[in-house]
C-alpha cells in the first residue's frame, strides 16, 4: 500500500509524505525497544507515542511510515524529523485496534 492508500483506509491525514514506497507489513506498539526488537524492516508503525524519539527509532529500524493513532497530533519536532528523514507520518482518529483492522481489510499482511 502507498502512504495515501494507508491514510484513506484509516480516515487519516498524511502529515508528512515520506518516500514513495510500498508498505505491506505493519507493527503496533509504543515501547521503543519492543519496536526495535520486533518491527519488520520497511513496515508501517502504529503507535500513540508522540515524541521525536519515535522518528529516531523509525530511522534506525528502517520503518517507512509512522501511523499516529487516536487523533493525536504530532509534536513539531516529530513531524520535522520525519520530513528530514523521508519517513511518512499519518495521523488517524482510529485507535490502534481499529486502525489495524482497517489496514488488514485494505490488504495489509496480518
Partner 1 sequence: MIHLRYEVDGSDFVSCGKASEDVKRTLKNIGIPSEIIRKIAIAMYEGEVNMVIHANGGLAEVEILPDRITIVLTDTGKGIPDIPKAMEEGFSTATEAIRELGFGAGMGLPNMKNYSDDLKVESRVGEGTKVTMSFIL
**Which chain residues interact with partner 1 by CB under 8 A?**
30-34, 36-37, 41, 49, 51-54, 56-57, 59-62, 77
Minimum distance between the CB of residue 95 and partner 1, rounded to whole angstroms?
A: 18
For residue 52 the three cell numbers come to: 521525536
For residue 60 the three cell numbers come to: 534506525
Minimum distance between the CB of residue 56 and partner 1, rounded to whole angstroms?
A: 4
| 70 or 77: CB nearest partner 1 | 77
| 31 or 104: CB nearest partner 1 | 31
Minimum distance between the CB of residue 59 and partner 1, rounded to whole angstroms?
A: 6
Name 46's bridge partners: 28, 67
Region label for 103, one of left (φ > 0), alpha (ψ between -120 and 50) or beta (otherwise): alpha
Q: Quick check: 43 and 23 in contact, CB under 8 A?
A: yes
Residue with cell 520503518: 63
**Could you give the CA distance from residue 42 to residue 78 in angstroms, rounded to a whole number?**
19
| 7 or 49: CB nearest partner 1 | 49
Minimum distance between the CB of residue 100 and partner 1, rounded to whole angstroms?
A: 19
Amino acid at each position: 500500500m502507498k502512504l495515501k492508500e494507508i491514510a484513506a483506509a484509516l480516515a487519516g491525514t498524511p502529515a508528512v509524505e515520506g518516500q514513495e514506497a510500498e508498505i505491506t507489513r505493519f507493527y503496533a506498539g509504543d515501547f521503543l525497544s519492543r519496536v526495535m526488537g520486533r518491527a519488520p524492516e520497511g513496515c508501517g508503525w502504529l503507535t500513540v507515542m508522540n515524541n521525536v524519539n519515535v522518528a529516531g527509532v523509525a530511522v534506525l529500524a528502517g520503518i517507512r511510515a509512522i501511523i499516529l493513532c487516536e487523533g493525536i497530533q504530532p509534536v513539531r519536532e516529530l513531524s520535522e524529523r520525519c520530513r528530514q528523514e523521508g519517513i511518512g507520518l499519518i495521523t488517524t482518529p482510529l485507535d490502534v485496534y481499529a486502525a489495524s483492522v482497517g489496514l488488514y481489510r485494505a490488504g495489509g499482511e496480518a
